[in-house]
Structure 1
Amino acid sequence: MATVQLHSVIKRYDGAPVVDAVSLSVRDGEFLTLLGPSGCGKTTCLRMVAGFVTPDAGSVHIGGEDVTQVPAHRRNTGMVFQQYALFPHLTVAQNLAFGLRVRKLPGKEIKRRATEALDRVRLSGYADRYPDQLSGGQKQRVALARALVINPRVLLLDEPLGALDQKLREELQAEIKRIQREVGITTIFVTHDQSEALSLSDRIVVMRQGGISQIGSPQELYDRPVDRYVASFIGKINLVAVTAGALGTDGRLRVQSRQTAEPFDVDLAGGAAPAPGEPLLLALRPERIQIGAGLPNRVQGRVELATYAGDGWYLEVRTQASEPLIVRTSGRAAPAAGDTVTLGWHHSDAVLLRDEAAT
């Protein structure tokens, strides 16, 4: 069952659409992330769900009810902002109690819920502190607790970790995921950070210029991107310009490098085979490339740069068949700059994409 639905929503500013006919369903209890660069429309979509922005066309539904014209305070959503938005003159407990007092809950119930919410975000003992007595991570936990304490139908998170350092971001990512699983609340999360989206989400919506490029699980988007934009936005990717050749009886397509005519074989992931001669991009993740002979697709190159990455190395390898290939190796040892290496990959390790720039 879908908890949240957007039906062909459009929002314009100064006549230009920032969200252009977006339709989207968020499943009950799902953690869904809106991912994309600044200006792609992801925050506007979130604010339309919250009720802070009214669409110019289309509709917003929560729990099967059309809430397009329902004010924000009557939508039963909880919102967490990047800049916390805590009341500086109220204690932590008073910040949590604010929304409950507006709802006219009895004092005992307010205290019970506030205590439970602070326990959930692991801030027991902080009830009497003021926001300026908290660290950035603690403030964001309070903001999360304040959103949850009202028992919302939907939790909305607008880049809540953007102001934190990397280590604290990772800690709070784990906390958000733990709490969301424990509570089972439908959650919509907005971020431009791909690693954040991959680690937290059940599904990811990749947005571009007010529309949706692809929706899928983190693994689907990473392993099977539908176009160059998604492939480049989700993780590191090598894109080799190739031309489609013949389709074999084994379901593999022969392609050739446009630079050297060197042949490679690729498993087709379903759908119609491209026409012979069609320009394509062979998309290959750095960690899928192996060093050494013996693999069905092979190319030789020279290491131009080796960068240590803690648990392995990133190599930049110049080949004749493509632009420099980025290779991710594991282990402590790696070829040095200037070494000649043979790179290889399996038929199923690459994905073929249309080369829109060449058509």
Structure 2
Amino acid sequence: MVERLRQHRERTRAQNCPPSIQAFKNLPIVLANILILFAGTVALLQTYPHFTTSELAPDLPPEDSAPADPAADTDIPSPLQAPIEDTAPPPILTFRPPSSPPVPHSPTLAPSHSPTPQPVSVLYRKLAGIPVYIATIDLKDPETFLHIGLAKNASQANSARSTQGDEPFVHLVRRNRAALTLSGTFFSMDRQKRVMGNLVAGGQFLKFSPWENYGTTLGLRVGNQPEMITARVQGKPRWQDHWFSLTAGPRLLSRGKLWINPKKEGFTDRAVMGSAIRSAIGFPKSGHKLLHVTFLKPVSLKREAEIMRYLGCYEAMNLDGGTSLAIAKGNRILKSPGRNLTNVITVYDTHFPAPKHLKVSWYGFQNSDILAFKDASNPQ
């Protein structure tokens, strides 16, 4: 009987024990379980393969490396080996364009370059720690058309004789309704807002002066064949042979080698030759596509050239940047400029078709050039 009473008192005491005291009694067991779990996690991590940042991205030379010597320049890995890391893109501005009936398309208005249309693509990446937008333009796609949009829908670019001023980038995007809208070439900051160099769009001059002899010109010939010419080194381009032509610079790549000589091209502005947020355009040796890169972090011309070659470009040149830097994919503005612009590059594809008049003009340019070639090769 005494033993039963003792056991009953112990059970009653345990049931009436405060929760905090009961938890304290179980604390050694909890801590032991935590230590066992931690030891197991450490052992698992030690057996799991891991990599350092340097192992994953043996990237480009450091920014402050010595100036490149084109003759002694070493090869940069191919685009497939480029250190690219996915990151979340910056915020974008989206607007709803005004509705309008679709532009009818006739198969005869564009040549049969490739069996499957390849629309414009834009990727946000980091290359060697530099955030960029990489736009790929398939020049062999029959729905690809490049054009130049001017402020306030002007028919001629600003010059010393006449000007239409500038315009907010969002207005240019809305009006042109292109797959890709990019900041184009340089312009003066005075009241005239004069556009640099000669411009050709739709096979017609938007600005022309026979005395233009500075900078580097990107031109598209018959069949969307690209060429890049530095006037003071290679002679003036044959602008009349271009369906699309834009002059900017400095040049970054020539025949796959770094070629950076701003003063030889006629550039004297320190802002061009220093470090800035930039944009560049180029093409591989095949000439089948254009690569446009928007640099969202300040880079030098040398660094810009290295990255363009890193992406597979054989020829490349610098475009307008700084506070003019802008890019829009369709109706989404990915990077807004810090000022109004006078000109933009517009690219159309199968999702954002070119205006009918541009397609008709392109087709006429191809035929007229072919006829002229035949006449020249078969004199009467």
Q: Same fold (TM over 0.5)?
A: no
Tell which has more relative contact order, 1 or 2 (C-alpha 8 A, sep 6+).
Answer: 2
TM-score normalised to structure 2 length? 0.20
TM-score normalised to structure 1 length? 0.21
User: Whose radius of gyration is greater, 1 or 2?
Assistant: 2
